[in-house]
Chain A
Amino acid sequence: MKKLAQWHFFAFWDRTGIQHHLEEMAAKGWMLERIGLLYHYRRCTPGKYRFCVTYYPDADPSDPAPTEGEQDFQALVSYAGWELAATNAQMQIFCTDREDVVPIETDPVLEVENIHRAMKPRLSANRSNAICGLVWMVYGLLQCLTEPVRFWSIPLFQLISMFFLLEVAESGSSLLAYSRWRRKARKAAEEGEFLATPNLVPLNIAFILVLVAAFALYFAAAFTGQNNQFNEAIWIFLLIPIDTVIVIAAWKGMKRLGVAKQTNKMVLNIGSVFLFVVGVPLIIVLAMGSGLAERPGVRGGTKLDSYRWDGTTYYLYLDELPLKMEDLQPDLAYDGYVSKLDSTESFFAGSFEAEQSPRMDDPDKEQYPTLEYECVTVKWKALWSLLYNDMYQKFHRLSLNPVSGDPVPWDADQAWTSDGGECLLCYGDTIVFLRLPFTPTEAQMQVIGAAFGGN
């Protein structure tokens, strides 16, 4: 093997960690060749090499070639006995096998200032990421508080919240670690000392692992239980990497063609905005229009056919429902019902909304009442109160004179009823909100109890 490429988790400013690692690699016979997404190494004679990670703050990764200033800097450092190994934006990595070569940085105050100048664009990006993540986190938190059933039963919402939580944690911890190091480094520099940079590799690896675990859990939840279908989230997860590859390829292509950095950046920004701000929502709309996803994260009922009535298109569904009008009214002789079930399920909770209603174009539809209900299964017991309150509030909002009822006839643990036929029932881990078109008899209550796993 003559070449080696490795992914590294060093912070951009972790000059100590990078230097040590490159010295270890060179001692094993691997010399740094270039840095892209990965660190690329070539075979070299194993030996004692000294590496120095320094920064040229005015370097711009969008420049088609190193600027005059950057080349002057590299020439001066080379004259002093150092050989340029690789560059990565402002980062300049030099190496030497000579013992007597003077270090590139001999003034710690200047070095800290220099690193800070090089870090400025990254710090701005980190701050923007932290703010953006914070906004999304607040949005997720609000959703968790105002619509807990929806939040905890849709894996996509949990993934998005976890993603932004990690973004805030990662950006925040990077900013914090850097500002802490800088404060100490400036103090040490006043005493003429160079302060080693802290090792953030374990923390960065931990963030990646948590993110991978979050995605794995999402995909596991999305393809099992009630979500076993190709939904719009998959489109997003396919589209974002494709968009990223297109943007990076365009950026590199323009660099190769010698396009000026301002033009490159402008095209890149416009392209990114178009691909991510316009492209992703466009795909979601297309996915929704094509019936791949009716609502984010929710498995819609199976469309069998469509018909038009009064200028509107309606779809026909014949989904399996746990409770049907025929179960409650066995003598009902009507086969024109449309049965629709929208369901979603995460590792924390599952929910479905069922509706059985006559076709809109049926002239006798008034004779056949509509049955609607929503069922929530709480898998993580700690969520019980939160999800129960959500359902209870919905029941109270939509019911006429709600009162606490006797659970026994329903075979339930708890029962709330109302004058309008609405009722809220609890069966073990399941909460059911029913909107019956009539006041149920005891026999019908038992049928309902049997349908939802009564005692």
Chain B
Amino acid sequence: MLLLFFFGATLSSCIREDIAGNSPEDNFEALWKIIDEQYCFLDYKNQEYGLDWDEVHTRYARRITASMGSEALFEVLSEMLDELRDGHVNLSSSIGTSQYRAWFDSYPRNFSDSIQSNYLKKDYVNSSGLTWQILENNIGYVYCESFSDGIGDGNLDQMLYKMSVCDGLIVDVRNNGGGALTTAQKLAARFTNEKVLVGYICHKTGPGHSDFSDPQAVYIEPSDGIRWQKKAVVLTNRRSYSATNDFVNAMKQFPLVTVVGDKTGGGSGLPFSSELPNGWSVRFSASPMFDPEMNQIEFGIDPDVKADMAAEDFQKGADTIIETACRLLQNPAG
């Protein structure tokens, strides 16, 4: 009797997910439910531009048929995800990877690697993902293309030691699409001498659109290595996204740092992954990050000094944004 009870207690309590099948309707419902229960900006985007996820379901369900092929299904599901206006939301399959691109395609590029090479010249240093040079006007320039790979403490020490003779430092994170938050914070830790509150993060605690944890404070603590003690400028454009958005937010809290360029692309939701019954992978924002005043930074961070690449500078091979930064750093009152 006791053993039968053991069997009964477990077999009657199987913990499984309620996924019924693999038809186009099933995959549509599964994707809609993943976003409905786990995506972290549904309420915020409802306030910002009227996103109504239930209405999205009604509108896109009409386009789903049992006989539709994989490519048609992928197209409809990708369009549905674009309603979120989030570069962190991607649907991946053998057909391709969907991506919402308006967050950078609708804005000036504000970066040219050929013009950048006029400043880097031939004798630049490439070290641990950082490309740096001391410009002719004695301003240090470092380009950080990505935070995907780690940056070594020794490489940072060496770079900042060499730059210590400079009058100011430019940290260029244009076209940096992000990577690891910890790497971005490691670089930011070289620009403060004290522990600084740079923002908050929270996460979902349940499937409801408003089920969030209490915000957790995020601090940058000063690095034990060499730290930059002079003025610095961070260069941004719309492709400064995700972990780079977080880096810019952190740097903006430091008194000697000025952000110059275009508004960042945003992407303040820490992305999670999930999948559909047909095996397609979906990535989505799961944990929202905020600035120290609890403002959303999902749609980008405004620069302290707005600057776009001017056509006349472009013709001369000059980078308006770098030139603006140099002027700021060379101006004693700036």
A and B are interacting partners: no
Chain A residues within CB distance 8 Å of chain B = none
Chain B residues within CB distance 8 Å of chain A = none
